[in-house]
Amino acid sequence: MNEAALKLARRYAIETNQHEKHKIIAFHKAFHGRTLFSVTAGGTEAYKTNFGPLPAQLAHTTHNNLEALSQIMGKDSCAVILEPIMGEGGIHQMDLEFAQGVRALCDQHQALLIFDEVQTGMGRTGDLFCYQGLGVTPDILTTAKALGNGFPIGAMLTTEKIAQVFQPGVHGTTFGGNPLAAAVAKKVLELVSAPETLAGVRARGEQFVQGLNDLNQKFDLFCEVRGRGLLIGAQLKGPHQQKAKDILLQASQKGLLILQAGPDVLRFAPSLFITETEVEQALNLLQQTFTSYLHEHR
Ligand SMILES: Cc1ncc(COP(=O)(O)O)c(C=O)c1O
């Protein structure tokens, strides 16, 4: 879907006679997938190594830095692509001021704003899509992962006007428009967009963050616990930096599956339907995990 979004942005520029608009701006540490175009938009060199020559005219700048972004935007800007909360890059939220500033810069330079909501979308942050909580509307939005609740489907959303440049045959894929996948996604959308689901995500997120902060009082592992809804990151500090993998392996031995977002951040992304009791159980298992981790690393 990010491949489609980037192709759409380039085609829109050309079909609307803005031939100078070819530059796509993305962010260091971003992750947008593994096709050649989307991996080039990503901000981690390792994923791009030995696949060159890569698509041209993609530039990277620093996340949450409006000044840096404004300096590389100009008449040649075609689109800006970003994750409303950087997932793989460490669960970094955009400041509200940055989000609004990016939108304003895109409007000023007539560049399209693409939000990659593959991780943040479908209820994960307590809104159906994260942009709704930011008050900033992108021109193109991509979603996948939770869209099919495990069944493979991705989608790219855009406005009627921009969609005109993708007439039938212009872009497609063998399994695109699969009726079974679409039926699954329709049901998932119905369940996830229910107000009680989204309220549950917000409540369980607060419970989880509170619990992590309480554990941190005791174990002193993190310099920050951050995130939105049920996309939560805990940044390891001091001697615990680079230890995310050790901790998640210990957690899995206790029966708790967690993720990492880089070597220094523990990432928690539980089911949107997790109950209050299950969050308590998870926090108990984390307490056991931290106890044994500190025992080994004393
Ligand atoms: C923010 C984001 N965008 C896109 C993707 C899709 O990646 P892929 O093309 O590997 O399915 C992912 C997968 O983790 C992601 O986290």
Q: Ligand 1, atom 11: nearest CA belongs to which residue?
A: 33
Over residues 125-154, the mean pLDDT reads 96
Predicted pLDDT at 277: 98
pLDDT, tens digit, for every residue of 58-79?
999 999 999 999 999 999 999 9
Structural domain span for residue 39: 2-192
Predicted pLDDT at 242: 97
Over residues 93-117, the mean pLDDT reads 97
pLDDT, tens digit, for every residue of 252-264?
999 999 999 999 9
- Give the domain-ending residue among 176, 192, 208: 192
If asked whether residues 78 and 153 sit together in one domain, one would say yes
Ligand 1 centroid to Cα of residue 143, in Å, is: 9
Ligand 1 centroid to Cα of residue 118, in Å, is: 6
If asked whether residues 88 and 154 sit together in one domain, one would say yes
Total number of domains constituting the chain: 2
Mutate-to-test residue for ligand 1 from 31, 35, 130, 153, highest number of ligand atoms within 8 A of CB = 31
- Give the domain-ending residue among 136, 171, 192: 192
If asked whether residues 182 and 55 sit together in one domain, one would say yes
Mutate-to-test residue for ligand 1 from 6, 114, 119, 231, highest number of ligand atoms within 8 A of CB = 119
Please state, in angstroms and as integers, the Cα–Cα distance from residue 185 to each residue in 55, 114, 153, 189, following that order. 32, 21, 8, 6
Helix axes 195-219, 179-192, angle to 10 degrees: 70
Predicted pLDDT at 99: 97
If asked whether residues 142 and 268 sit together in one domain, one would say no
If asked whether residues 96 and 171 sit together in one domain, one would say yes
pLDDT-derived band at 298 (thresholds 50, 70, 90) equals confident
Show the ligand 1 pocket: residues with CB < 6 angstroms. 2, 31-34, 83, 87-88, 116, 118-119
If asked whether residues 187 and 281 sit together in one domain, one would say no
Predicted pLDDT at 297: 83
Q: Is the pLDDT of residue 103 over 90?
A: yes
Q: Is omega for the bond preceding 239 within 30 degrees of 0, making it cis? A: no
Over residues 188-200, the mean pLDDT reads 98
Q: What is the CATH number of the domain that holds 219?
A: 3.90.1150.10
Predicted pLDDT at 211: 98
If asked whether residues 171 and 57 sit together in one domain, one would say yes
Over residues 200-210, the mean pLDDT reads 98
pLDDT, tens digit, for every residue of 6-62?
999 999 999 999 999 999 999 999 999 999 999 999 999 999 999 999 999 999 999
Q: Ligand 1, atom 16: nearest CA belongs to which residue?
A: 119
Ligand 1 centroid to Cα of residue 295, in Å, is: 36
Ligand 1 centroid to Cα of residue 30, in Å, is: 10
If asked whether residues 42 and 132 sit together in one domain, one would say yes
219's tokens: 């174990």
Ligand 1 centroid to Cα of residue 288, in Å, is: 32
If asked whether residues 123 and 211 sit together in one domain, one would say no
Helix axes 276-296, 244-253, angle to 10 degrees: 120
Q: Ligand 1, atom 12: nearest CA belongs to which residue?
A: 33
Q: Ligand 1, atom 7: nearest CA belongs to which residue?
A: 33
Predicted pLDDT at 187: 98
Ligand 1 centroid to Cα of residue 52, in Å, is: 20
Q: Could you tell me the sign of the dihedral formed by the alpha carbons of 44, 45, 50, 54, in that order?
A: positive
Residues 6 or more apart from 243 whose CB is under 8 A from it?
236, 263, 293, 297
If asked whether residues 113 and 181 sit together in one domain, one would say yes
Ligand 1 centroid to Cα of residue 298, in Å, is: 37
Ligand 1 centroid to Cα of residue 33, in Å, is: 4
Q: Is the pLDDT of residue 119 over 90?
A: yes
Atom from ligand 1 closest to the CA of residue 30? 1
pLDDT-derived band at 143 (thresholds 50, 70, 90) equals very high
- Give the domain-ending residue among 173, 192, 211: 192
Other Cβ atoms less than 10 A from the Cβ of 226: the count is: 17
Predicted pLDDT at 246: 97
